Structure 1
């Protein structure tokens, strides 16, 4: 069992009398913790009324028509058999709140969208542009602009592939046609550095545990000489450069992809990553700190060349989607025990690309060829439950998880389509499905060479209400609480690289 870890939102807020205030609490632990609330140190349960209610299994305090006497420190407490954690959300009810509210948005809680005409910083509630960083803007301290004009192109255009958020301080973003990574400073909203990489950098991952950004480059558009590089001290205000990882028997050209498990509230340190080699039935286990290979996990007995991976800390399982074999037959997913590095066997008859919810409790597998999504829950003891199926011809491009607004310890999932104009919404606990329709055509898959996600969908963090998904020429912001479209922002072409920046 693992003691609870808790987060509240917001940490503090000012409200004028008569409006509604909500205070939210998210806790993780094994087993799932029980939640309770105190106001100024006293249990609020006896005080509950029409005006003061608990929602979403007690994870949200909802106060309608706030009064001066609602001002106070609201403590959320999470308990399970392994321990207790608590955090405070403060509410101030005051007349002047209306005047100050406009300016306390700060630089956090924004979507950064990288598109042909530079970078747009967008505040999702009112769908306002906070800033447009144009392609002609100079790199800090240099004469060159950050998206130089290509030969023969009358317009200055940017080409981006992927980006990562580094501690809400910096955004690292690849420019695959310029063989470099740009670093955007969130505080000043400026491009502060360009880091040269191997040719055609296409994928980034921020390894929070060691504060480093991993870069996969293809070498050329035919992916002929792919390499892995690492940028260390990623959140430091230092001059950055890349380091090559140790080659395997001088075979740099074998790296097909890499996978590093994400950190969560309760798993704050990740020690190992995995490298997938072209046409090899194995995983290479890598020590993230020393950037060196530690072990080869053979998948030969199962004839599995790994294509994609997902990891859950519940049971410590890696789920592996294998490439179709030479006859085109599709194998079920393989399960590997990440503690012993041994193959446990097939995941029943479940096929497709695996995705794990942030709390590790749900495995969502998408088999595009069969038009099938399968959802399995995983217990705290690591038991993998039977799947329920959802049939869809949506051709799913990307997946985003969002904590439920109606139930504690639950997640909803949003799926964008690589060819259609709808987004699929699903409640993982019940399997209830809804479509958000008419979100225009995505960029065609053939026009987005960098990865298989030609239509991203991006959530806005642990307490975020909004999601963003780009079409070919505009951006759509969805409201996850109300399950509907919030707004469309037009004239943003090829904005398929999106990052959410929370409050640093």
Structure 2
């Protein structure tokens, strides 16, 4: 246990993290009305990432150096060039954007070559990292990078797209061969005229490999991002429909349905996923798994120990140890007659949010909140219902109710409290939603949301609720053509430092420029491209 009671009835927490923030109330035995509440606020020293670590540019072009910092309270950012503060040097040519998180040089000269140190400070600590800039005559002539690309899996194979120029860098066709086994990437099906592919789910493994499921082939394909080739296929249980990469233990989880009625679902694990060579699959002991949830890591929380699995018929979630792949305990929702459908997690206060399945006898099915420190069900999340999404910094919970089109946004305070900040009525029945870091405000985000049925994409400034719409991004893939999940139109971002997002329509792809909140381009002739992975620096 992470806590103890002292001889004087004090509560001792041995290793405090952000999940412990919140209110602690001590009651007197037999005198319930006598109590005292303590508020525990947890401060976290800054953690930063710079991007890019090094870059070479020709004289006269513009260059950007970015620094993302997280900590509690929010850190302040300063920059040094070769050890000297750049603040006095700021000018039209050298500017700081988004509270210092981007250093922009509008026209680089030879003397701009140097080591730029980003320093993030708050009340409890400091972190720093270096981004190097080299100005060279022929910097542009270096070989084409294979990183910073979207991989789009569609009927016609795999398209590697560079979003900045909207350029297709590589197209892997269905008849291309897998490197080790020499099988075709998408084997021809008898009776079908054209050779086409069917994909369901894909994950990025440390920017080295992409694992992608081929549900009808009962296998997982492994793509090497360095060579942009399929290097291996792994046989898994029938109809693999969902993958998740557990970064903490370097393993890929595979959920298979067994058949289209989901009558014999199984969960398997591929260990040492980033090794990439001679992979194998391990069966887990869990039966009747309808879905599973593994919390994401972020800059502050980089290790996750537990996951959850749920069955469609049971009012409970099962907590599992990711390392040993064993069941630890069952958290029951019988009192709330809640059968879990989706989950989300924030490391601020350590809350899990569970969306319950629609129930004919109940008009609305609210979310439930579980406290991850005690595994206790705290109760409903007031009257909030809908699919829960947590912003990458853990500070906002966005709940999208796809039936009513309502989007409720709650903030998680540094005292572990959950408060509603606004409630948006939209006509968008949300299929998928993601977060795009703001380029004007440090530590702020936009939400981008697609619709199950409509052609519009919604974007909202998260801190203010200011809404806008990108119109006429063509019809989404029909649910009939996308039986694998509720997300028949995904919205894929390009990570912490990326400015592009991608969303597929029925027969094409749209690239959105998140810096300007505008449409960048449409790439036509890509059918059912609803499985997309972003690959950063390779």
Length-normalised TM-score, structure 2: 0.90
- 1:93 deviation in Å? 2.5
Show the counterpart of 2:159. 120
> Does the 8 Å contact 2:404/2:429 carry over to 1?
no
Mapping for residues 450-469 of structure 1, pairs under 5 Å: 450-469=484-503
CA contact (8 A) 2:402 2:431 kept: no
Q: Determine helix, strand or coil for the equivalent of 1:386.
A: strand
The separation in 2 between residues aligned to 1:462 and 1:64, in whole angstroms, is 22
Aligned partners of 1:372 and 1:391 also within 8 Å: yes
Q: Distance in 1 between matches of 2:527 and 2:366?
A: 38
Give 2:475's match in structure 1, choosing from 441, 455, 464.
Answer: 441
1:245-284 residue pairs with structure 2 within 5 A?
245-247=284-286, 252=287, 254-284=288-318
Question: Aligned partners of 1:110, 1:271: CA distance in 2, in Å?
Answer: 30
Shift of 1:263: 0.6
| 2:258 paired residue number | 219
**For 1:426 and 1:39, how far apart are their aligned partners in 2?**
36
In 2, the alpha carbon distance for the partners of 1:261 and 1:163 equals 17
Query: Aligned partners of 1:288 and 1:99: how far apart in 2?
Result: 45
Aligned counterpart, 1:108:
147
Matched, 1:389 2:389: no
Secondary structure class of the residue paired with 1:394: coil
User: 1:176 matched to which residue of 2?
Assistant: 215
The residue aligned with 1:209 is: 248
Contact kept? 2:180, 2:232, Cα under 8 Å? no
Which residue does 1:430 correspond to in 2? 464
1:163 is matched with 202
1:58 aligns with 2:100: yes
- Any idea what SS the aligned residue of 2:274 has? coil
Secondary structure at the residue paired with 1:400? strand
Give the one of 336, 344, 349 matched to 1:315: 349
Cα distance between partner residues in 2 of 1:322 and 1:355: 14
Aligned pair count?
A: 496
Aligned residue among 483, 492, 500 for 2:526: 492
Q: 1:157: Cα distance to partner?
A: 0.7
Separation of aligned partners in 1, 2:56 and 2:453: 44
Corresponding residue SS for 1:434: strand
For the residues of structure 1 that align with 2:159 and 2:91, how far apart are their CA atoms?
Answer: 44
Assess if the C-alpha contact under 8 Å between 1:425 and 1:433 holds in 2: yes
* Larger mean Cα displacement after TM superposition, 279-288 or 19-28: 19-28
1:131-163 Cα offsets, whole Å, 9 max, x none, are 111111112233421211112101111000010
Native 8 Å contact 1:323 1:330 kept in 2: no
Within 5 A, what are the aligned runs for 1:397-436?
Answer: 397-436=431-470
Partner of residue 53, structure 2? 11
Deviates more, 1:326-335 or 1:156-165: 326-335
Matched, 1:367 2:401: yes
* Partners of 2:408 and 2:420 within 8 A in 1: no
Alignment counterpart, residue 350 of structure 1, candidates 379, 384, 388: 384
Question: Residues 242 and 405 (structure 1 numbering): CA distance in 2 closer, same or farther, change over 3 Å?
Answer: same
Alpha-carbon shift at residue 15 of structure 1 (Å):
2.4
- Structure 2 residue 507 is the aligned partner of structure 1 residue 473: yes
Deviations 1:215-259, CA, capped at 9 Å, x for gaps: 111110001111111111111133122211123xxxx2x211000
SS at match of 1:280: coil
- Contact conserved, 2:401 with 2:429, CA < 8 A, in 1? no
Q: Is 281-290 or 61-70 further displaced after alignment?
A: 61-70
Compute the displacement of 1:49 (Å). 1.8
Is the 1:475–1:492 contact (alpha carbons within 8 Å) kept by the matching residues of 2?
A: yes
Measured after TM superposition, the shift of residue 328 of structure 1 is 4.3
SS at match of 2:352: strand
Per the alignment, residue 73 of structure 1 pairs with: 115
Is this contact kept in 2: 1:366–1:372, CA < 8 A?
yes
Please state if 1:237 is matched with 2:276: yes
- Supply the distance in 1 between the matched residues of 2:396 and 2:102 (Cα, whole angstroms): 23
Matched, 1:99 2:138: no
- Distance in 2 separating the partners of 1:395 and 1:163: 24
C-alpha displacement at 1:455, in angstroms? 0.7
Give distance in 2, aligned partners of 1:96 and 1:193: 38
2:226 maps to: 187
- Shift of residue 330 of structure 1? 1.6
In 2: Cα distance, 1:59 partner to 1:277 partner: 43
Distance in 2 (CA, whole Å) between partners of 1:31 and 1:207 is: 28
Structure 2: which 5+ residue stretches go unaligned?
1-42
Asked if 1:135 is matched to 2:174, the reply is yes
Q: Give 1:331's aligned residue.
A: 365
**Cα deviation, residue 462, structure 1:** 0.6
Distance 2:327 2:381 in 1: 27
Residue in 1 aligned with 2:25?
none
- Aligned counterpart, 2:183: 144
One of 235, 241, 257 as aligned partner of 1:196: 235
Q: Compute the displacement of 1:329 (Å).
A: 2.3
- On the 8 A contact 2:252/2:270 being kept in 1, the answer is yes
Is the 2:181–2:232 contact (alpha carbons within 8 Å) kept by the matching residues of 1? Answer: no
Shift of 1:64: 1.8
Corresponding position: 1:47 with 2:89: yes
- Which segment is superposed worse, 204-213 or 80-89? 80-89
Matched position secondary structure for 1:235? helix
Deviations 1:99-124 (A, max 9, x none): 34xx3x41110110111111111111
Question: TM-score scaled by structure 1?
Answer: 0.96
